[in-house]
């Protein structure tokens, strides 16, 4: 590393240290989000040749700060305690684990993996979506699409399980908020109310590996796939069914019932 580059790095750290030492917490958060947004915009420009304007970056920072503020509000949480390992549900419930991967180019891969009380894989889906503003909206939309997938396959006793605590908390708390994900939260609540019974559980990320694996595969493929032991949605073409079945077979090695 050249001395010039090292001096620039030291100067940046000294600048950040000065800001954090002489400003309140909210101002420091704003600086961090701005730095992150600038870095994200630079990477998108280099790798995708899409350059954000100053207005675009400002709107992103403002929306993200509003989202953070709404998440930090003190709200009662009515979800079951965090579990450290995946466990099968009690009959007649099925458990659907969901996950989301939010790409820097505003692309989202959301997944749902359905298993029964013996840990058997009943279905899996992977959706790809575009124009997703941030990671909070990505997780909320993933929850909606997972619930819709379970409903499409005819399951009416469902446990929704994931590692997105902010989304799961809002599903069990009534009222409105100003967050960007609220429209998806409303959709999820409507789906939950349409089922005979629906429970919500938060788990650690390491317990959500099958859904996470399918999310990675979804990003790699760039299209939506479905596979279920019951009737598949009519929009699933035969080619996509074969693709989905292949993904589900590879999921089995990640499914461990303890």
The structural domains of the chain, with segments of one domain joined by +, span 3-71, 80-254
Strands 197-203 and 80-83 turn out to be parallel
Residue 13, both tokens: 């750290």
What pLDDT shows up at residue 82?
A: 53
Task: Write out pLDDT tens, residues 61-91.
Answer: 888 887 777 655 544 445 455 556 778 899 8
Query: For residue 254, is pLDDT > 90?
Result: no
Query: For residue 169, is pLDDT > 80?
Result: yes
Residue 77, both tokens: 């949480």
What pTM was estimated for this model as a whole? Answer: 0.59
21 alpha carbon, distance to own chain's centre: 34
Question: What average pLDDT score do residues 10-28 get?
Answer: 80
Q: 124: closest CA among 100, 98, 105? A: 98
Task: Write out pLDDT tens, residues 23-36.
Answer: 888 888 888 888 88
C-alpha angle 242-250-119 in degrees, rounded to nearest 5: 105
Query: For residue 152, is pLDDT > 50?
Result: yes
Task: Write out pLDDT tens, residues 158-167.
Answer: 999 988 888 8
The values of phi and psi at residue 175, to 5°, are: 95, 170
b/e per residue 193-217 (b: at least 16 CB within 10 A): eeeeebbbbbbeeebbbbbbbbbeb
What topology is assigned to 80-254 in CATH? Nucleotidyltransferase; domain 5 (3.30.420)
Task: Write out pLDDT tens, residues 106-146.
Answer: 566 677 888 888 888 888 888 888 778 777 888 899 999 99
3-state secondary structure the chain: CCHHHHHHHHHHHHHHHHHHHHCCHHHHHHHHHHHHHHHHHHHHHHHHCCCCCHHHHHHHHHHHHHHHHHHCCCCCCCCEEEECCCCCCCCCCEEEEEEEEECCCCEEEEEEEEECCCCCEEEEEEEEEECCCCHHHHHHHHHHHHHHHHHHCCCCEEEEEECCHHHHHHHCCCCCCCCCCHHHHHHHHHHHHHCCEEEEEEECHHHHHHHHHHHHHHHHHCCCEEEECCCCCCCCCHHHHHHHHHHHHHHHHHCCCC
64 CB neighbour count, 10 Å cutoff: 21
What pLDDT shows up at residue 51?
A: 83
What pLDDT shows up at residue 84?
A: 62
The mean pLDDT of the chain is 75
């Amino acid at each position: 590393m050249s001395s010039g580059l090292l001096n620039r790095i030291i100067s940046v750290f000294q600048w950040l240290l000065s800001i954090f030492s002489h400003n309140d917490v909210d101002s420091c958060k704003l600086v961090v989000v701005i730095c992150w947004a600038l870095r994200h915009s630079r990477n998108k420009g280099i790798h995708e040749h899409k350059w954000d304007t100053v207005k675009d970056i400002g709107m992103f920072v403002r929306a993200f700060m509003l989202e953070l503020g709404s998440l930090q509000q003190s709200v009662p949480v009515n979800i079951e305690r965090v579990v450290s390992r995946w466990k099968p549900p009690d009959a007649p419930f099925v458990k659907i684990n969901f996950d989301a991967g939010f790409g820097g180019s505003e692309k989202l891969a959301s997944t749902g993996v359905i298993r029964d009380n013996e840990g058997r894989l009943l279905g899996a889906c992977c959706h790809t979506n575009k124009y997703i503003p941030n990671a909070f909206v990505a997780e909320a939309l993933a929850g909606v699409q997972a619930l819709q997938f379970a409903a499409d396959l005819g399951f009416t006793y469902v446990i929704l399980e994931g590692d997105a605590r902010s989304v799961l908390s809002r599903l069990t708390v009534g009222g409105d908020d100003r967050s960007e994900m609220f429209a998806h939260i409303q959709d999820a609540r409507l789906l939950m109310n349409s089922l005979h019974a629906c429970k919500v559980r938060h788990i650690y990320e390491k317990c959500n590996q099958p859904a996470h694996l399918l999310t990675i595969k979804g990003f790699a493929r760039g299209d939506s796939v479905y596979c279920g032991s019951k009737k598949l949605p009519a929009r699933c073409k035969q080619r996509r069914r074969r693709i989905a079945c292949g993904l589900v077979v590879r999921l089995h090695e990640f499914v461990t019932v303890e």
